[in-house]
A and B are shown apart, each in its own frame.
Chain A
Amino acid sequence: MTDLLRPRVLGTGPRRVDGPAKVTGTAPYANDQPVDSPAHAWLVQADVARGVVTSIDVERATALDGVLAVLSPDNAPRLADTDDGELAAFQSHDVDFRGQAVAVVVARTPEVARHAASLVRVEVDQRPHDVHLSADRDDLYAPDEVNGGFETDTAQGDVAAGLAEAVHVVDHTYTTAWYNNNPLEPHATTALWSDGELSLYESTQGVYTTREAVAKTLGLPPERVHVVCPHVGGGFGAKGTPHVHTVIAALAARAVPGTPVKLALTRQQMFALVGYRTPTITRVRLGCAGDGRLTAVAVDTVGQTSRFKEFAEQTAVPSRTMYAAPHRADTHRLAALDVPVPSWMRAPGECPGMFGPEVAVDELAAACGVDPVEFRVRNEPEVEPGSGKPFSSRNLVACLREGARRFGWADRDPAPRARQEAGWLVGTGVAASTYPVNHSPGSVAAIRTDGAGRYRVAIGAADLGTGTWTSLAQVAADALGVDLADVDLRIGDTALPKATVAGGSSGITSWGSAVVAAAREFREKFGAHPAEGDEVRASAPEPSAPDHYALHAFGAQFAEVRVHVDTGEVRVPRLLGVFAVGRVVNPRLARSQLVGGMTMGLSMALHEASLLDERFGHVVNHDFAEYHIATNRDVPDVEAHWVEEHDPHTNPMGTKGVGEIGIVGTAAAVVNAAHHATGVRVRDLPVTLDHFLR
C-alpha cells in the first residue's frame, strides 16, 4: 500500500499554465522552433504497395534552383541498426507498403522541396501485393505476445460446455474499421547537427523515446542526441513510438552540414507513415443462464500487421477483466499484409476490444429480458477473471448506478423502435468502459530550490495537450507542501532527467511517482527550510501493487441516439459518462480528457473509417474532407462525471489515468442506443445512415 499524498493543490482546477501561450500562438511547436536559415525536406513516396525500386532519377529535381540534396536508397548512408523495420529509412530498394518513403529532397524552401520531390522519377518493379484482411485467411498466425506484453491466448474452464449449458447464447462477429490518428498538429521534426551531436525539435509523446530510437538507429551514444519538445498538438499514440520521418530528418540534416532541416508531414502522408489502429474482426460468444448470469465468455479476434514489422493489438485482453464467467477464453490472430505498420491509437486493445463484447452483452441482456445495466451488475466478478487477483478498487457498479441516475435510465421502456419525436426514432443505450492503470518504470525527477521558497522540478515528461504542465506541477506542489506558484516545472527536454513516454495513460502515475519520491527525499534530506541550490534526484520506485492486485479504471457510458425516419441519419444528441478513475488531479483537465475521449468514441461510432482500396493498397480518403471526424454539430452534449474513489494501491497520488478510458465503450453505447431506437443491430462500424434506410 502506498502512502497517499494529502491533497491540497491536487483536486483543484487551475487553468492550463500553457494556455495563454497557446491561444496567442506563441507556444513553440516542433516546426516553429527558430533555427538559423533552415532548409526544408519533402518526402517522395512509393505509389505501389509492393515491389523493388529499380531506378531513382533525380536529375530534374536536383536541377531546380534551391535544391540542396536528394537522399534515397541509392545514396543514403547505412544505418547502424535496422531491427525496427519502420525506421530503416532508405536502407533497401524494397517497397513494403504504398506510401513508403523512397526518397527525400532537401531544399531552401518548402515550396521548392515539394516541387522537386514531384520531379523525382521512381521506377518500381511492381510485385503482387496482398492487403486483404479477413478472418477466413488460411495464413493467420498467433503472435508470441500482444501489445502491452500480454499473453496471446488465455482460457479457463471449458467454453463449449459453458455455452452448452447456457439458456441464452449470443454468437456474432463484430468489426471495427481502420482508424488513423489525426492530431491537429501533423508530425514535424527540426534537425540540426553540431560537432557530431544531433539536436531534434520533435513533436513527440516522449523525448527520451525519440532519443533512444534515433540514437540506436544512427549508432550514436544516446547522450549525443538531444530532443526538445515543450508542446505537442495532440498525438493519440501516433507520437508515442518513433516513426521514419524523424530518422529521415536526421539523415537529411547530415547531408547538408551546418544547415538545420525541417521536415513536416502533410495530412495525407500521415495516413501511411505514423501508425494507425488496425481494423478488427472479433467473434464474441456469450452464454448466460435464465437469470442473466454468464456461463461462458469467448472472444476471438483477428487484426492486421505489416509484413516488415509486427504490431499485435491486444483486442481481446479486456475480456480478461470485465465479467465473471466460469468458462472463458480469448485468442488473438494476425494477418501479415503489405500495409503500413499499425501502432498505438488512443486505448489500443480496450477501444476496439470493448466494442464487440459490450454490444454482445446488450444483445444477451435483451435476449434474457434483463435490463442492460442490471445485467452488468449481475456479472460483476469477485476477482479479476483472467489473473485471479483482487481488484485494488473496482467501481463499475457505482459508475453504472450513478450514470443511470444522472441519465434518467430508470423509466426506460426496453422495447426497441417504440419512440418517435418529430420524425426521429429515439433510443438509449449503455456500455461499460475499462482501462488498466499502467506504470512505466524508469522515470527520474530532480528538485532544486532557490532557497527563497521556489522549487525547480525537472523531468523529461511530455504534455501532448493533456495538461502535464499544470497537473504534474500540482503533484509537485502537494509532494513538496508548497503552493502551485512556487513550483517551476520543467518538462519536454532530454536535458532534464529521464522520463517515460506519455502512453497507456501512464504519465501521471509514472512521472508523478518520481516527483513524489524526489520531493520526499528532498524534505528528508533538507527539511522544510532548504538552502539555495539544495537538490535531489530520485527514481520512481518499482511498484509492488501489480504483483498483488488487478489495477484498472472503470466507467459507464450512456448514449441517446436519434435516427431519422426518412433518411436514416444518425445523431447522438446526448452522451453521458461516469468514471471511476481514482483521485482526480485537476477536474478541469480531467473533464477535458474524458469528454475528449468520449467525443473521439462518438466519432468512431458514427464517422471514422479509413477506406483501404485493396487494388492500390492505400487509404483513399486521406484528408479531412473525406476522413470524417465528428464536427461540433455532431457533438451537442457530452458530459463526463466521476465517482469518488480512494485507491491506495495505484501510486502515491491515488490516480488511475484519464487519457484513454473515455474512448472505451462509447461506440458500443451508441450502437446499443441505435438498436433501441430502430430495432436494427449494427455490428460493423461506423453506424451510417444506410443501415437504417427503409
Chain B
Amino acid sequence: MIPFEYRRAVDVDGAVAAVAERPAVVFLAGGTNLVDRMKLGVAEPEALVDISRLPLDQVEELPGGGLRVGATVRNSDLAAHPAVRRDYPVLSRALLSGASGQLRTLATTGGNLLQRTRCAYFQDLGTPCNKRVPGTGCSAIGGHTRGHAVLGASEHCVAVHPSDMAVAMAALDAEVRVSGPGGSRTIPVVDLHRLPGDEPDRDTVLAPADLITAVDLPPLPRDARSLYRKVRDRASYAFALVSVAAVLEVADGAVRDVRIALGGVAHKPWRARKAEDVLRGGPATVDAFREAAAAELADAHPLPGNAFKVALARNTIVAALRDLTEETR
C-alpha cells in the first residue's frame, strides 16, 4: 500500500474544497470498496478526505412525502429504517441482498452508488483494462465474462455496475443531491451512471470534487407494489448475475404504471423503459410480461460466456411482475 495523506472533513463545503484542491484526492466514506482498491493498487490516491463524520447520516421525511436519505447513512441502517421497510420494500430488500452483514454495517448510501465494478480484470494490475488505464484494452472481452454486461456495453468495456441498492433507487426514480465546486444540483439516479462508450474510466457524470450529500426518494402511489429479486451463483454474498427491481400498479387487471430496473446486466442500473412502455396501460398478464421482457432484451448483445443472462433476465422480469401481480390480487 502506498502512503497517503488522511484528512477529516468538518463540513460539506470544506470537503469539496479539499478534493477540488488537486488531483488524486478522493472522498472516503465507509471505505469498503475504496480501501480494497488501494490495497490492490487499483486506486492510488495521494490523499483521502474522510466525510464519514459529516452530518449526512439522517433519514428525513420530506414535506411532500418521500424520504431524504443522507449520503453517509449506512446500508444496514437504511435497510432497517421503518419508513423504508414500510414504503419501499424494494429498496430494503435490495440493500439486504447486497454484500455481507459486516460490509453493510460500514458501507454508506453515497459510497454504494459510487462503488466500482468488480470485474476481475479491472481489479488485477497484471491485466490490461480500459477502465483502470484508458487505452490499454479490455481483457474481459475474450476472457471470463460470466458476470459481465449484455446491455449497453462497448468494445472498450463490458463491465457491470455491482450495486443492488442503486438498481432499486433507479426503479424508484430517486434523485441524487450533489454539492460541487460550482454549487449544488440534483441528478436522477438513472442518469448518474454512464454507459462505458469510449470512456469506460468514467463511471458516472460526476466531477471528481462532486460530493453526493443525499438521495431523495419520491413517494410511491398508495397502490404500488414493489420487490427486488436478485439471482446469483450462491445464496448469499455474491454479486447479481441478474437482478430486477420492479414497482407495479395494477387496477382492474391492467397496468396503471410500472417501473423496472435491472442489475448485473449493464455498466449502470438499467432502467427497462422499453418493457415499461409495452406494459403501461395493457393487461397485467404473464403473456404481456413476456412480451415486455422480450422487447427490452431485443437489444442484448451477450458475450460468449454470458449468453444465459438474456434468458435469465427475461425469466426474472416475468417472475417478478407475476409475483407482484399475484400480491396485488
Contact = CB atoms under 8 A, between A and B. Distances in A.
Interface stretch (B119-127, B212-220, B250-258): B119-127
A626 interface: yes
Interface in A616-650: 616, 618, 620-623, 625-626, 628, 630-634
Contact of A631 (B2, B144, B235, B241): B235
B6 interface: no
Interface stretch (B172-180, B260-268, B270-278, B309-317): B309-317
Contact of A689 (B41, B121, B236, B241): B241
A628 B236 contact: no
Contact of A566 (B121, B233, B318): B318
Contacts of B311: 693-694
Contacts, number: 83
A616 B126 contact: yes
B120 A568 contact: no
Interface residues of B, number: 31
A618 B126 contact: yes
Interface string A595-635: 00000000000110001010110101111011010111110
Interface string B211-248: 00000000000000000000101111111010000000
Interface in B271-329: 308, 311-312, 315-316, 318-319
A47 interface: yes
A607 B233 contact: yes
A693 B312 contact: yes
Interface string A655-674: 00000000000000000000
B63 interface: no
Nearest to B142: A615
A357 B82 CA distance: 54
Contacts of A420: none
A111 interface: yes
A626 B316 contact: no
B3 A115 contact: yes
Given A566-B315, A571-B235, A606-B234, A111 B1 contact: yes
Contacts of A689: 231, 233, 241, 308, 312
Pick from A611, A620, A628 the residue with the most CB of B within 10 Å. Answer: A620
Given A566-B315, A567-B319, A634 B120 contact: no
A428 B233 CA distance: 21
Nearest to B310: A693
B302 to A, nearest CB: 11
Interface centre among B139, B234, B238, B316 (most CB of A within 10 A): B234
A313 B32 CA distance: 40
B260 to A, nearest CB: 16
A98 B126 CA distance: 10
Given A611-B144, A620-B124, A689-B241, A634 B118 contact: no
A544 B64 CA distance: 86
Contact of A690 (B1, B236, B239, B308): B308
Contacts of A606: 233-234
B14 interface: no
B201 to A, nearest CB: 20
A631 B236 contact: yes
A620 B233 CA distance: 17
A676 interface: no
Interface centre among B123, B235, B308 (most CB of A within 10 A): B235
A615 B235 contact: no
Interface in B193-222: none
A114 B1 contact: yes
A606 B232 CA distance: 12
Given A566-B315, A567-B315, A616-B126, A628 B238 contact: yes
B118 A626 contact: yes
B34 to A, nearest CB: 15
B236 A632 contact: yes
B2 A607 contact: no
Contacts of B181: none
A486 interface: no
B98 to A, nearest CB: 12
B135 interface: no
Contacts of B120: 611, 620-622, 626
Given A566-B316, A632-B236, A688-B233, A620 B144 contact: yes
Contacts of A567: 231, 312, 315-316, 319
A233 to B, nearest CB: 19
A101 B312 CA distance: 42
Interface in B139-159: 139, 142-144
A634 B232 CA distance: 12
Nearest to B307: A690
Contacts of A623: 123
Contacts of A613: 127, 139, 143-144
A628 to B, nearest CB: 5
Contacts of B234: 606-607, 628, 630-631, 633-634
Contacts of B238: 628
Contacts of A269: none
Contacts of B127: 613, 616, 620
A631 B237 contact: yes
A621 B1 CA distance: 21
B119 to A, nearest CB: 10
Nearest to A46: B126
A153 interface: no
Interface string B1-19: 1110000000000000000
A620 B144 CA distance: 8
Interface string B106-133: 0000000000001011011011000000
Interface string A524-548: 0000000000000000000000000
A151 interface: no
The 5 closest A-B pairs by CB, nearest first: A690-B308, A633-B235, A633-B236, A566-B319, A47-B126
Given A115-B2, A569-B231, 6 more contacts: A566-B318, A615-B142, A620-B124, A622-B120, A628-B233, A689-B241
21 contacts: A115-B2, A566-B315, A566-B316, A566-B318, A606-B233, A607-B233, A611-B120, A615-B139, A616-B127, A618-B126, A620-B124, A622-B120, A622-B124, A625-B239, A626-B118, A626-B120, A689-B233, A689-B308, A690-B312, A693-B311, A693-B312
